[in-house]
Amino acid sequence: MTTLERSARADARTATRAAKATRPARTPRQPLSRSGKKEQRTGWAMLAPAVILLGLFILIPAVLAFVLAFTNARLISPYPATFVGLDNFARLFTDPTFFRALLNVAYFAVIVVPVQAGVALVLALLINKQVRGTTFFRTVYFLPVVTSMVVVSLLWLFMYRQDGLINVLIDRVTFGLVQGPDWLNDPSTSMPAIILMSVWQGVGFHMVIWLSGLQTIPADLYEAADLDGAAGWQRFRYITWPGLSATRSLILVTITIQALSLFTQISVMTQGGPLDSTTTVVYEAVQSGFVQQETGYASAISLVFFVLVLLISFVQRFLTREKN
Partner 1 sequence: MRHAKKRLIVASVLAASLVASLAGCASAGTGTDGKNGELTLWTHNGGNTEELAAVQAVVDKYNASQDKTTVKVQAFPQSSYNDSVVAAAASGKLPCIVDIDGPNVPNWAWAKYLTPLDLSVDLDENLPSTLGKWNGDTYSVGYYDVALALFARTSVLEKAGIRVATIDEPWTKDEFDAALKALKADGTWDKPLDLGTADVGEWYPYAYSPLLQSFGGDLINRDDMQSADGALNGKKALEWAEWMQSLVTDGYVAPKSGADAALDLENNVSAIMLGGSWAAGKLSTALGDDLSVLPLPDLGEGVKIGGGSWQWGVTSGCADPEAAMDYLSFSLSPENIADVAKATATIPATDAAAALVPGFEEGGDLALFREFSKQFAELRPETPAYPFISSEFTKATQDILNGGDPQATLDKAVKAIDGNIKSNGGYTQK
Partner 2 sequence: MALTQLPDAAASSPEQPAVVTVAGSGRRGTRSRRGGTTGGGRADGLSSRWSGRRRAGLGGWLLRLALAVVFAFPLLFMFVSSLKPDQQIFGDLSSVAAFLPIGNISFDNYAAVFDRVPAARFLINSIGISAITVLLGILVNSLAAFALSRMNMRGKSIILTLIIATLIVPFETLALPLVWWVNQLPSLTLDGFSLGFSKGWIDTYQVQIIPFIANAFSIYLFHQYFESIPKELDEAARMDGAGWFRIYRQVVMPLSGPAVATVAILTFLPAWNSYLWPLMVVQTEELRPVMVGVQYFFQLNVSWGEVMAYASLITLPVVALFIAFQRSFVNSIASSGVKG
Selection from 258, 242, 260, 254 nearest residue 208 by Cα = 254
Q: Which residue number, 88 or 198, has a Cβ lying nearer to partner 1?
A: 88
Minimum Å distance from CB 291 to partner 1? 5
Distance, CA of 159 to CA of 213 (rounded, Å)? 34
Angstrom CA distances, 190 to 100, 112, 155, 198, stand at 14, 14, 16, 12
Q: Interaction with partner 2 in 69-88: which residues (CB under 8 A)?
A: 75
Q: How many residues does the chain have?
A: 324
**Residue 157 binds which of partner 1, partner 2, none (CB < 5-8 A, kind-dependent):** partner 1
Fill in the DSSP letter of residue 71: B
60 binds, among partner 1, partner 2, none (CB under 5 to 8 A by kind): partner 2
Q: At what angle do helices 96-127 and 134-146 cross, to 10 degrees?
A: 160
Question: Could you say which of partner 2, partner 1, none residue 292 binds, taking C-beta under 5 to 8 angstroms by partner kind?
Answer: partner 1
Q: Which does 114 bind (CB under 5 to 8 A by kind): partner 1, partner 2, none?
A: none
Enumerate residues 6-35 that contact partner 2 by CB under 8 A: 6-8, 10-12, 15-16, 18-20, 22-24, 28
158-to-154, 172, 269 alpha-carbon distances in Å: 7, 18, 10
Q: Which one of partner 2, partner 1, none is in contact with 74 (Cβ closer than 5 to 8 A by kind)?
A: partner 1
Residues 273-292 touching partner 2, rule: CB under 8 A, are 282, 285-286, 289-290
Measured at the alpha carbon of residue 281, what is the angle toward residues 279 and 286, in degrees to the nearest 5?
A: 90
Selected binder of partner 2 within 84, 103, 106, 165 (CB under 8 A): 165
Question: Is residue 316 a contact residue for partner 2 (CB under 8 A)?
Answer: no
Gap between the terminal Cα atoms of the chain: 18
271 binds partner 2 (CB under 8 A): no
Positions touching partner 1 (CB under 8 A) are: 72, 74-79, 157-158, 161-163, 182, 184-185, 187, 271-276, 287, 290-294
- One residue of 83, 93, 99, 136 binding partner 2 per CB under 8 A: 136
User: In degrees, to the nearest 5, what angle opens at C-alpha 243 toward C-alphas 138 and 13?
Assistant: 100
